Structure formats: C-alpha cells, structure tokens
Amino acid sequence: MSYVLRFDEIDKSSLPLVGGKCASLGELIKAGFRVPPGFAVTTTSYLKFITATGIKDTIREILSTVRLDDIVSINAASVKIRNLFERAQMPKEIDQEIRSNYLALCKACRIEDIPVAVRSSATAEDVSTASFAGQQETFL
C-alpha cells in the first residue's frame, strides 16, 4: 500500500488518491512538460491516519453537533477537529514513507534539506459543480 506517490507516477486516474492539482501535474509530466519534482501524500495515508490514531469517530461526533446555519458552530467544530490532527501521532509507516520520499527529492535536486511547499489537492476541489478556491492552507 502506497502512502506517497511521486508526480511522475500520477495521472488523471490517480485523482481519487491525490486530488485534482496533483493529477494535473502528473498529466503535464506525461505530456512532456517540465514540472518540478515532488510527491503527493495520498488519501490512503489520510484514511490510515484517522483510523490508526483513533480520531475518526471523534471527528464524526464533532460533526454531528454542527449547525450548518451557524458560523460559530462551524468554526468551533473546525478548531476542535484541527486540534485533533495537530495532537495525533503520525503512524510510523506513513512518517517513514514521507521522509523517504523527501530525502529522495533532496538527492534528486542535489540540495540537502530542500525547501518545499505543502499544498492541498482535494479530491473534490474545483469540480464542475463547486469551487473551494482559497479554502485550504499552503505551507512553505
């Protein structure tokens, strides 16, 4: 089971695993465009993370109390869920795969500790029926 896929391993069929942005990067590579090297952390890793850490049921409980017509309720639930993610310990196999791919990226670029951007690539982002532009965070 792969928790990480390199951009050159991705294509449009990978969208459910890596989201639209990453699937598009894979397609660009396959079409011969130059794309900076990188990798995607898959939805498989997300599912493993929320299951292995035991936060999946807590997330469901929090979401069951949200009143969708109340922004305060939505924000409070968001903070609680974010805190769950921040406090949870990354499963070792996911951690190792991310680190391994990062080290391979450093080696391929010949730059030790290369700076990277961590971007969202949601599987339901910017679909024909909805856009979520600007709602996800980017980390540099």
Distance CA 53, CA 113 (A): 28
Distance CA 22, CA 16 (A): 10
Detail the DSSP E strand segments found in 2-135: 4-6, 39-41
Q: Which residue has the higher pLDDT, 9 or 136?
A: 9
Reported as type and span, the H/E element at residue 80 is helix 71-87
Q: Are 129 and 63 in contact (CB under 8 A)?
A: no
Domain boundaries, the chain: 1-50+92-140, 54-88
Q: What are 39-81's pLDDT values in tens digits? A: 999 999 999 999 999 999 999 999 999 999 999 999 999 999 9
Mean pLDDT of the chain: 90
Q: Which CATH class is domain 1-50+92-140?
A: alpha beta
Predicted local confidence at residue 118, as pLDDT: 86
Cα-Cα-Cα-Cα torsion 80, 137, 105, 125, nearest 10 degrees, comes to 100
- DSSP per position, 12-51: GGGHHHHHHHHHHHHHHHHTT------EEE-HHHHHHHHH
Residue 13 tokens, joined: 């069929």
